[in-house]
Structure 1
């Protein structure tokens, strides 16, 4: 049984610009309602609008429009009347991290359920008030109507909120009438970005706001020996040097003053040399020789016996290097500390886990920390957002009463973010005379793929320099390395074995985690096996699949590339995966052209994606296109370079990514399965896209590129040939 209780609640604001209230009065830190209650997800506002509360962050994936659509559908309300409050402690539900392509599966479906429940309760309350049967009532654009009267939602609730517990509603309108869900409704923030009106975290400004910079050591493990404070203490704009152990931060009146002071202070410090990095080692060989935790992750049948009896046997090894998040806008955060309370604006992927982590770092109770999620400019994955938030929080606590803004510089972002880990792969399989796989052995080497803080200050960059107990970063999430390591094909005799090591550079979750590397290796190898068997690449995959949804994706992809006419030095490659072997299906094809100088241009990419029920086809296509382009850039160009002391890929020349002229034309077909639950799709295209590109290079040149990036390997292979 549910219950009804009425009460008022206070909501914070997501992006406060030039707000006198935020300067002159430190808001009471809000306390959120139970996530079992409807008003934890849906609020009715007095002006006729509906506020949707999501614990997820907008990372460019379009979560704002998607959750607005599901709420508007269930409440039969114009989507322009729906506003979305992003992740904010004390206001939105604690939904952990915005990661793993879970925003639609989790948050959007919770909001859909809350909106459907709210619809039924509003009709029930209105029917009681009007003394009529609730089936005679309709909802439209914030009003409840009958033949003669209409009342706003706010009036029906007497200005209160719906605090009943959630339950399963009798109907989801999105599964029946479907007027708003499933439509390509445009995101409002895109047009605002184009004209420079959208507010990113990097744009936040407050009256009287101060600026800061961190003085970085020359390496991960350097220790501060001495600092000459007399050399800069009288400089223009200088307010304070915050020194805690080996952590150094400077606060100034203006931003450029902070930049100048950062350089001046670094010039007047001396550091102990840190432990050297293995810059002179071949990274592929190096990581395979590190001490590792070895485990059999999947075992079916007798792969050794099957392989020995196979008429064709084949082996191959693959490699991917460290790659960057490479955020367009360097990480940034703003904080104010006052009356023993901290207010923080951040583009962290998890405001509640960050609060849980900052509490012990700052030696503050969690209830005194209010964190407001504010989108950052351009990043997928766990970059330096949590690090910069922790740094500005430390500075704000040591300089109370003023908003302090800290933004990293481009070279800092490149040099100090946690990267996507390198991975190495060894494959072995056999084929029967009929072209079926007989025996499969897969070994892969990987560091952990996520070192998100999650309550542990050790994984925050500044923690290692504070001179306290947090010195060595914690291990991280092994499971990310296993993602898609088991092929999504019918293979009777198989073994997958992991080798989890601890590498020399910072690492954490990068879009798709281990799936990109695992699928790149597996789908490249599948292409090689198809070639050995003399089979069409797509048909070979279909022959090893019993999942009708997989087969439909592959067949539709085949139809798209049947008419492609290849010119000289051009090739077409394909690949497929089901993300996490449990989420979205995605088949990708790529048309590439290889010049006489070994330069690879991706001319066009196609994708067929099945993400179950599609909430917004435009958003799903955008995510898939972006994933393909990003993965093609990883595959062809991207690699973190480092010396024996630190990272040397410090700009867009030393760490090149796709520029606009290199961006391929993309064509995406969405298979919309209304009867199925929606599946996360933001990370579905990366793995098959990378494999499709290298398979296309083979089709164009007859050369297998197995080590990434392609630009480093293709010329070598051509010279060998």
Structure 2
């Protein structure tokens, strides 16, 4: 896929032709400032006890008439800050500019767990909607009493309740007190009766801060007399520190303190550059013990299937028998594989911590401030009430990367070096080497077709490490816990549902057998965007295309014949109309795929138009289309951004991303050795949204991951007659001594005649 890279001059020149979107939070960033205030963006009122059923836990009316909305979710680039402001402004009938959104922070915002699973709109935004609507009705009730008017004659608008020639501000109505009222579950919603702000493409609140260079990310935050730290990493996971040359290290200039806790070693300095050079200078004076334990010299897909597994039948239809397939007219079988892949966050993980007067404060881009607080409490032996954690946006990441680890490390160092703010930022090599990856997975499918070309039997086996190994209040899942030697064990297991997510096809299949085999793999793993859904949908949708060929059916029609959900068929029909307009040349093809994320969230149908240079093994992705049904759409542009970002990330994963390692450690530690999709390789993208204002909003942040890669491999087959079943695609296409030929099926190019797909 990679072409000759642009020179610096060409890159700068090309910026005039590129639109580059950065997705972060703005409300918090606009208030970051270099002072020692614990919480520079705190609302006026701090709730000691946050009751999710109470209006006051979600919003505060301020004296200046502005409204602070609290959410336990973090801004990860998904635009939740703007979407939440929209639903609140709608229900309070206010200008959105008068709404401030306060992101996740212990003691200030509700405990909403993790920002994960495409649940922010479904959970937090809908909670804010009901809280704001309940607040509005409560204010109208109070105004009716205060003004001696009928409630029905009053209107709340822009912070004033007016009617009968009288008016009163909403702050005056509360007389400086809280609402002291519960959220009503049946409160009327303006979003269904008026819908002036919701459903509009409101500009992102945070973009102006990014474009103007204001302090915005955790990386930008500075405090007076702040010191900088770096961890001196061991040569391998699980290594133990045997010896340290204290005398030699003591001679190093500029060292404020050398911290050693068990096998964890760090340096602290007044200057960040000095902390970097000190960490490099200290490293040669440490002696480690470690094993060469990683499996090299064998194919990873074979290795993970050879490991001991916790196997379980997850679904088996009544009357299932292997004879359903063995006795069928048409049988087909195929195996698929996905390697370990990185989060590859553009900004390395970063955190700031300060321990003073027996209390610990942490600033972090963790996706779950409350679970992280519990984990850090266990790590350090502190009571949770002595730990305050404030969420500050990081440089974008969907999933569990190093944010929790670096926060825990900064907290540990703050305990060792009290009364100063300690800033700890990982380096690129650390981020690539020590983050939890998206796990490798193997999928094996077998199916039977009847004489009419319909699927009668479906057998699916998947091999996966567990996903979702976040701290969750457990110190054992924090990286520093493995090295401080205070009785913490290895990382706990995640949840099986992460591996089986979307493993059951959304299609109507009479006889089905689904079995999962959970192993403990060689590399650290956790949540990465979509979890197991990415690999499962890739395998299922590639296999559906193969079955369509066996049935001599159009790939879209074949899918439609196995669907009864009209919302799913609407997506595919709209996609079908779009791709029919495309004329392909030799060596080009169009592939499609469909999935409903988690079989309960957003519907997403995707098509890819590619060309393949079979001689060189190069793939060019010309255009991607998506049709999405996410129910009620809060912000159309925000939804499109989510789907577009998911599609680009997915084709990057599918084309080229793979974690490599030797017998001790991960080896692709830089962007050169871990390539991701580059600007000049990004395709044109078209996204169509089916807005259903009277349906519940559905999570969409992870809907595009699986279908995009599946559409890509299906398009490659139509362009070159090569069926890729093992990722990454480029490695499979360029079969060399490193590649594995069994991952590619060279079949005769197909001619669908009247079908819409070109070859």
TM-score range, shorter chain: over 0.9
Residue in structure 2 matching 1:376, options 376, 394, 398? 394
CA distance in 2, matches of 1:14, 1:298: 50
Pick closer, same or farther for the CA change 1:20–1:343 going to 2, 3 Å: closer
Residue in structure 2 matching 1:607, options 606, 609, 626? 626
TM-score calculated relative to the size of structure 2: 0.91
Residue in structure 1 matching 2:577, options 534, 559, 567? 559
In the TM superposition, residue 22 of structure 1 has moved relative to its aligned partner by 4.3
Between 246-255 and 164-173, report the one with greater CA deviation.
164-173
- 2:143 is aligned with 1:126: yes
CA distance in 2, matches of 1:33, 1:462: 31
- 2:708 is aligned with 1:689: yes
Please report the RMSD computed on the Cα atoms of aligned residues, expressed in angstroms: 1.8
Which residue matches 2:278? Answer: 261
Which residue matches 1:647? Answer: 666
SS at match of 1:115: helix
Whether the 8 Å contact between 2:723 and 2:746 is mirrored in structure 1 is no
Pick closer, same or farther for the CA change 1:187–1:231 going to 2, 3 Å: same
Residue in structure 2 matching 1:97, options 114, 117, 120? 114
SS at match of 1:298: strand
Whether the 8 Å contact between 1:23 and 1:207 is mirrored in structure 2 is no
CA distance in 2, matches of 1:321, 1:15: 41
Q: Unpaired runs of 5+ in structure 1?
A: 1-11
Residue in structure 1 matching 2:184, options 161, 167, 185? 167
CA distance in 2, matches of 1:318, 1:437: 20
SS at match of 1:591: strand
Which residue matches 1:661? Answer: 680
CA distance in 2, matches of 1:189, 1:32: 30
SS at match of 2:633: coil
Which residue matches 2:405? Answer: 387
Between 12-21 and 477-486, report the one with greater CA deviation.
12-21
Pick closer, same or farther for the CA change 1:283–1:626 going to 2, 3 Å: same
CA distance in 2, matches of 1:191, 1:568: 45
* Deviation per residue, 1:551-579 (Å, 9 max, x gap): 11110110110111112211100000011
Which residue matches 1:7? Answer: none
Which residue matches 1:679? Answer: 698
Which residue matches 2:198? Answer: 181
CA distance in 1, matches of 2:472, 2:448: 43
Which residue matches 2:494? Answer: 476
Alignment of 1:186-585 (within 5 A): 186-197=203-214, 199-300=216-317, 301-585=319-603
Alignment of 1:10-21 (within 5 A): 16-21=32-37
In the TM superposition, residue 715 of structure 1 has moved relative to its aligned partner by 2.4
In the TM superposition, residue 719 of structure 1 has moved relative to its aligned partner by 11
In the TM superposition, residue 582 of structure 1 has moved relative to its aligned partner by 0.9
Which residue matches 2:9? Answer: none
Between 221-230 and 285-294, report the one with greater CA deviation.
221-230
Pick closer, same or farther for the CA change 1:14–1:416 going to 2, 3 Å: farther
CA distance in 1, matches of 2:147, 2:167: 10
- Tell me which stretches of 4 or more aligned residues in structure 1 moved more than 3 Å: 12-16, 20-24, 26-30, 717-721
Pick closer, same or farther for the CA change 1:268–1:705 going to 2, 3 Å: same
Residue in structure 2 matching 1:631, options 650, 655, 658? 650
Whether the 8 Å contact between 1:32 and 1:90 is mirrored in structure 2 is yes
CA distance in 2, matches of 1:342, 1:170: 40
CA distance in 1, matches of 2:39, 2:688: 49
Residue in structure 2 matching 1:66, options 83, 88, 97? 83
TM-score calculated relative to the size of structure 1: 0.96
Whether the 8 Å contact between 1:574 and 1:692 is mirrored in structure 2 is yes
CA distance in 2, matches of 1:451, 1:546: 36
CA distance in 2, matches of 1:347, 1:412: 17
* Deviation per residue, 1:96-121 (Å, 9 max, x gap): 00000000000000000000000000
SS at match of 1:238: coil
Whether the 8 Å contact between 1:14 and 1:86 is mirrored in structure 2 is no
Between 304-313 and 355-364, report the one with greater CA deviation.
304-313
SS at match of 1:693: helix
Whether the 8 Å contact between 1:56 and 1:98 is mirrored in structure 2 is yes
Whether the 8 Å contact between 1:317 and 1:706 is mirrored in structure 2 is yes
In the TM superposition, residue 229 of structure 1 has moved relative to its aligned partner by 1.9
In the TM superposition, residue 35 of structure 1 has moved relative to its aligned partner by 1.6
CA distance in 2, matches of 1:306, 1:447: 30
